[in-house]
Amino acid sequence: MVFYPQPTDHTRRPASVTSRSTTTRRHRSSRSQTGGASFRPQNEFPNFAQTGDVEIVINAEGQEKRYLLHRLILAQCSGFFEASTSEDWSRAQAQGVAGPAQSNGLANIGEEDEYGREADQPTLPVGPTGDRYRWRYELDLENKDDVPMLVQKPATSSLFGGDQLPRPPATPNKNTATSNSFFRSFTAMQSAAHIPHQAPDNDLIRDYDNLFRIFYNYSPNLDPLNIAESYIQCKSLLNLADMYDALEVVGPRIDHHLLQFQSRLWKQIAKYPPSYLKLGYLARSKVIFAEAIIHVVGQWPAGSNQLRNHVPEAVFDLIEDKAEELAEKQLKTEGKLFRLTLTTPRGERVTPTNSYMDWLALSLFRQWLIENTSPPPPLPPKAPNSNQPSPRTQQQNKPPISPGRLYRLLFSAGSAYLSHDELKRFLKVSKAFGAENSGNPDYRRDELKKFERRMDEVKAMAKEIVRPFMRSFLELDLGRDGYGGGVGLEYLTCTRLEEADFPWD
């Protein structure tokens, strides 16, 4: 049997077939994260290079911050951007002519989308004729009198220097992946030039940065430790949000940030109620607004000059209504206190004839109430040739106790006022013991105890009358936060706001 050797096929395969898989694997193993196939140009806050259509430039004191954001989000969060980018008012200019040749710079360099397709379709909003639009805003620093505000400027062609760059010519027998990686790396370096690495130092830039961060549901950069500094930052941010009709979006973030301070916040509100009242109104914070208005109403009209013409009329009217309501309650309560009376065992009202000691207890209580609720009487006229002040001048000039402190003393009862020594001194001066019994210590002791018991009955009735005023609607703990159980507080804190009272609902 004869064997014939099989002819060997020496035909060479095309180089593109034999080396494609090997070259691809070797290229993948050497790729970096910067220029790899998985890399995409920056499309995140603050520069959305692929989808952003609103360019905002903030210049202040030699510092510059650039943003490339979305009209849709800005219009949803701000009435200013909704109006200025509308079809009727916008000065946006069409960029280029519709068609693949006039797409953005990322499409010009052959960028691929996340599904591997070449991004030759426009990614920005398209006008009626197919033209793509972009809006550009800059701060108006020319007007020195008012707070600088964003104004529309002619839109630039691209954030990367031109939207009409020609598409790179196709190079035969050249690895496309390598070319795309180069352009991706170059685009990444251009985008990274506008990424902030630290919080801005300028207050105006910080406020705008926090405003746009809130629009994109990021936490604002506010001081988390120093509440005084945090108040200044929050107030500045709220004023900026008010300029751009964005309080509904910014307010809840400010409210959440300040409420984290808890007891420190309540103490600050107690120190500066008018300031926090205005801040609470801007932030639409029911907790902060209600806490501040309780302090304001209790001290009214002490803070009227700070609030008049500085808060909306609805807020000022609300304060006046609550203050008048509180004053009416005080008048009714004082009338009840003056009508307090004691009765004899037979049910008759005490009089000097049927129970002299009980009548003295009532008279002393009423006299104490008059001295602490009424203004002092006018001073007697001086003698023509006398330079010596009257010995009672200092006593007559003593102002009455404030309503808050007076009612808290009445509610404390016991020895908080008209103590044992005062009662003993009163009985001694009034000669209630009688001349025949003044030298009998047992009689004097028994009468003093009876007098104290009757005075305690009067104090107990007064305590129940002022009880409604002792309910505090403050978040501030008067007993724990250094106010001595509220006895030292000079005003009432029983004002309550209902849901219908808030001026923004």
3-state SS, one letter per residue, for 450-469: HHHHHHHHHHHHHHHHHHHH
State the pLDDT at residue 407.
Answer: 92
From 93-107, 119-133, 137-151, 178-192, the region with the lowest mean pLDDT: 93-107
pLDDT classification of 385: cutoffs 50, 70, 90:
low
**Residue 42 · residue 191 · CB < 8 Å:** yes
Q: What letter represents residue 171's amino acid?
A: T
Give per-residue pLDDT as tens, 288-324. Answer: 999 999 999 999 998 888 898 889 999 999 999 999 9
- Three-state SS string over 337-386 comes to HHCCCCECCCCCECCCCCCHHHHHHHHHHHHHHHHHHCCCCCCCCCCCCC
- Highest mean pLDDT among 17-21, 95-99, 162-166 belongs to 17-21
What does the mean pLDDT of the chain come to? 76
What is the b/e burial string over 123-156, where b = at least 16 CB atoms within 10 angstroms of the residue's CB?
Answer: bbbeeeeebbbbbbbebeeeeeeeebebeeeebb
Q: Report the 10 Å Cβ neighbour count for 234.
A: 24
pLDDT at position 265 is: 96
Least confident of 147-161, 201-215, 429-443: 429-443
Q: Which of 21-35, 48-62, 163-177 has the lowest mean pLDDT?
A: 163-177
pLDDT at 144: 67
User: Given the structure tokens 């397709």, which residue do they identify?
Assistant: 117
Three-state SS at 232: helix
Residue 226's pLDDT is what?
96
Q: Strands 63-69 and 93-95, how do they pair?
A: unpaired
| Percentage of the chain lying above the pLDDT 90 cut | 46
257 neighbors 226 (Cβ within 8 angstroms):
no
Q: Which secondary-structure segment (H or E) carries 214?
A: helix 203-215
Q: What is the pLDDT of residues 340-369, one digit of tens each?
A: 999 998 989 999 999 888 999 999 999 999
Bridge partners (DSSP) of residue 43 are: 48
User: Measured between alpha carbons, how far is 105 from 187 in angstroms, rounded to an integer?
Assistant: 9
Portion of the chain with pLDDT greater than 70, in percent: 65
Residue 457 near residue 401, CB atoms below 8 Å: no
Taking the whole predicted model, whether its pTM rises above 0.85 is answered as no
CA gap 221, 199 in Å, rounded: 8
64 and 58 Cβ atoms separated by less than 8 Å: yes
Statement: residue 18 has pLDDT above 50: no
Banded model confidence at residue 23, pLDDT cuts 50, 70, 90 = very low
Beta-bridge partner residues of 58: 65
Q: How far are the Cα atoms of 2, 8 from residue 5, in angstroms, in the given order?
A: 10, 9
The secondary structure element, H or E, covering residue 44 is strand 43-44
Letter for the amino acid at 203? Answer: D
Cα-Cα-Cα-Cα torsion 110, 116, 119, 121, nearest 10 degrees, comes to 150
